[in-house]
Amino acid sequence: MSKSCLESSTNLESYENIESQVSLESSLNLPTRSGFVATLGRPNAGKSTLLNHLLGENLALVSHKANATRKQLQIIVPYTPLNAQIVFVDTPGIHHQEKLLNQYMLSQALKAMGDCDLALYLAPITDDVKHYQHFLELYQGKHILLLSKSDTCSNEAILAKMAEYQKFDKHFLALLPFSVKKGFNRDLLLKTIASFLPQSPFYYDDELLTPTSTKEIYKEMIRESLFENLSDEIPYEADVMLKRFEEGEKLDRIFAEIIVEKQSQKGVVIGKGGSSIKRISKCAREKILALSPKSVYLKIDVSVYKGWSKQKDLLKKIGYDFTL
C-alpha cells in the first residue's frame, strides 16, 4: 500500500517540511542503507503501537489484549538524514503454548529473528529483567534494547531500570527509554537503528508504506474490530477469512467471514438482533475508510469451524502459511 493511496496520511507541519528538505539535501551524498528490523518482545509489550507511531499510520493491529498480532507485518519507515530505509517486521509476542495457532505465532517471531539484519527488543519499563534474560537464551544476534512505556515511570525510576539492564551491555548495541505517548526519543531511535543497518540499495519504492497487500490489511482491520468490540475470551477463539475481495476503481467490495470455535460463540459475535455484528462491521468499515480513498462495501458472515485453531488444514485455509 502506497502513501498516495492513503487519504489519512498525517500532514507535516511547515517547519518539519523545511527540516526534511534540508535532511534530504545533506543525505544525497551518503550511501543508501536498508535492512530488516524485527520488533520482538513479550505479548502486549507495545510493538504494534510503536510501529504505527513511527509510521504515522494505523496499519499494525493494536489491542490492550495480549497476543493480538498473529502474523508478520512489514512496515517501511524512511530515515532521510542517513539516507536509510528501515523495514520493520512486526511479530507476534514471544510466548510458549501448546495450541497449534500459538506454535505458529512463535514460529513467526523466531523466523523474524533469523531473517533480520537487526532486532529491536521491547521491554516495558515495569518488566522484570528476567524476561530479557529469557530472550537472550533465544537470540544472540545484534539488537537494540528499548524500554517502552517509559511515560509510566519517573525519571529516577527510568534511570534505576536502565542501571539494572547495564549488566547485559555486552549483549545489546544500545539501550534507550521510549514513550509513544510522549513521543520522546523518536528521532534518536530511528537514527540509532539506521546507523546499524548495512549499506544497501532500498528494498522497496520510496512511496511504499508496506509490501503487505491491501486485502491482508483490510482483513486485519476487521480482526482488530473484533478485539475492540468483544469480551476478552472470544477474540482469541475467532479469526477472519476473506471469502472474496473485489477491488474497483471507486469501490472495494469485501466479503468476509468471522470464524469461531463454538455455536455459543457465534451467538455472541452476532448479538441480540444482530447488534454485535453490526457494531463490528461499522467499526471495521470506519477503519478501512480511514486508509482508503475509495468507498467500501463490507459484508461479514459468522461461521463455526470446530477446533480451527488446532487443525493445520483449517489454519492454512484461513491464511496461516506453515511453509514460511
List, as residue ranges, the binding site for GTP.
Answer: 41-48, 90-94, 148-151
Q: Provide the total of helices (H) and of strands (E) in the chain, helices listed first.
A: 10, 9
75 burial type by CB count under 10 A (0-12 exposed, 13-18 middle, 19+ buried) = buried
Known binding residues: 41-48, 90-94, 148-151
Written as nine digits, the cell of 247 is 477491488
Q: How far is CA 10 from CA 2, 20, 76, in A?
A: 14, 15, 15
Residues in Cβ contact with 154 at an 8 Å cutoff, skipping those fewer than 6 apart: none
The span from the CA of 26 to the CA of 80, in Å, is 9
Residue carrying C-alpha cell 515511570: 153
Written as nine digits, the cell of 270 is 452476532
Written as nine digits, the cell of 89 is 517486521
131 burial type by CB count under 10 A (0-12 exposed, 13-18 middle, 19+ buried) = middle
The span from the CA of 297 to the CA of 288, in Å, is 10
Q: How far is CA 46 from CA 26, 180, 278, in A?
A: 33, 9, 29
The span from the CA of 225 to the CA of 62, in Å, is 10
Residues in Cβ contact with 14 at an 8 Å cutoff, skipping those fewer than 6 apart: none
User: Are 315 and 308 spatial neighbours (Cβ–Cβ below 8 Å)?
Assistant: yes
The span from the CA of 323 to the CA of 104, in Å, is 10
User: Are 120 and 38 spatial neighbours (Cβ–Cβ below 8 Å)?
Assistant: yes
